[in-house]
Amino acid sequence: MGVVATTLCLLACGAATARVEPRIRVLLYDDQASVRVGPAAAPVEIALSATGGRLVVAGEETPVWISDGSGPWRVGPRIVRGDILVRAREGRIQVLNQVGLEDYVASTVGGEMSASWPSAALRAQAVAARTYVMHHAGRRRGEAWDVRATTVSQVYRGIDTETSETRSAARATAGEVLTYRGEPILAAFHSTAGGRTATAGEVWGEDLPYLRVVDVEDEDDAPHTYWRAVFEPLDLKEILESADVKVGALRSIAVDQRTQSGRVERLVIHGSERTETLSGRRLRTMMGGMGLRSTLFEIRESPEGYVFVGSGYGHGVGMSQWGARAMAEKGASYKRILSRFYPGARLEQIPTRRFAGRGPERSNEGDER
């Protein structure tokens, strides 16, 4: 076994046999550009070698860089607990952070939800975050990492997003996960449902019994409960063409089919040259950074152009964070919040090591909330 493989095995497996609490492997960085890594007060620049197959640290080439000491460690803008491994992988630098599950949860709760929110909402988020990562960790046993540090998985910023409130939420729910038939569920969550959650089948093509359509009340305080985005015809044509949807001069775009929860499943785009269909999910992927916050929208034509009038923010599956906040403010416990958004799932205190070595992962990467 090579140096890199041996080291990755140590990072992935070593603590699991020595401690009850599992350690999560987070992909913090994956890029060609150099990155500063090391003790928080004195990181070093790590770059790729000319061939892209090794690292260059302090002028010397090495296959990997491994943290030595108790930390905390700086990785670019993040300061994290645990251990760090840096490796060259297919012409890119990858930085992996192995961190205790409950430290990871405390940070992720702060990365995903305001620490000023009611404690019941924070505790519900802690259970969802813990369940989500254990669901993926159990299916990536043979891989180098369990989750990414971004919205592709869930937001983990290290120590910066830990607060007394998020640590309290992690402690109060320590080890608790949601299960279905004894396995940690895919505990998806999103910012705002817009009044009704979506099923997993609507978004990812596979229905799951605990991710159903759920009516959500009292999201009116959420900043994205209602939104509006306007696109001039020429701008929208260019956006579509950049995704290889070429219809000529844009004549109209209309919703053709909706999902069970009312989200846009398919659109029909009429142009001067041809007519094309497009999924609502693909359109949101193309235009999410331009104001299309969900697939729960209508399209209107006006002198301004094409007006998308919508509700909600994110894919809409699982727990609405603003919905959880509203329930908590009305006195609901975190257990009641979880039972509302994950019907049929059980809240259990289970030794998480039993989930190691599970089968291949069904990944939802790319579905940013």
- Beta carbons of 8 and 144 less than 8 angstroms apart: yes
Q: Is 58 left (phi over 0), alpha (psi -120 to 50) or beta?
A: left
In the chain, where the domains are located: 3-100, 101-218+315-352, 226-311
What pLDDT, on a 0 to 100 scale, did the predictor assign at position 4? 42
- Specify the DSSP class assigned to residue 115: T
Read off the pLDDT of residues 62-88 as tens digits, 9 standing for 90 and up: 999 999 998 899 999 999 999 999 999
- Residue 185 near residue 210, CB atoms below 8 Å: yes
Confidence tier at 21 by pLDDT (50, 70, 90): confident
Report the C-alpha gap between 182 and 192 in whole angstroms.
Answer: 29
Residue 210 above 90 pLDDT?
Answer: yes
Looking at the chain, the whole-number percentage of residues with pLDDT higher than 70 is 89
> Each residue of 308-336: pLDDT tens digit?
999 999 999 999 999 999 999 999 999 99
Would the pLDDT of 353 be above 80?
no
Is the separation of the CB atoms in 308 and 299 below 8 Å? yes
CA distance 354 to 224: 39
Under DSSP, is residue 131 helix (H, G, I), strand (E, B) or coil? Answer: helix
Confidence of residue 12 (pLDDT cuts 50, 70, 90): very low
CA gap 167, 173 in Å, rounded: 10
Quick one: pLDDT at residue 365? Answer: 41
Identify the pLDDT of residue 16: 41
**pLDDT above 50 (res 300):** yes
Mean pLDDT of 220-248: 94
* pTM given for the model: 0.89
Residue 355 has pLDDT above 60, yes or no: no
**For 165-174, what is each residue's pLDDT tens digit?**
999 999 999 9
Report the pLDDT value the prediction gives residue 14, as an integer from 0 to 100.
43
Answer whether residue 358 shows pLDDT above 60. no
Find out whether the peptide bond into 72 is cis, omega within 30 degrees of 0: yes
Q: Of all residues in the chain, what percent are helix, strand and coil, respectively (each to 5)?
A: 30, 30, 40
Question: In the predicted model, what is the mean pLDDT of the chain?
Answer: 90
* Mean pLDDT calculated for residue range 127-144: 94
DSSP state of 140: -
pLDDT of residue 369: 57
175, pLDDT greater than 80: yes
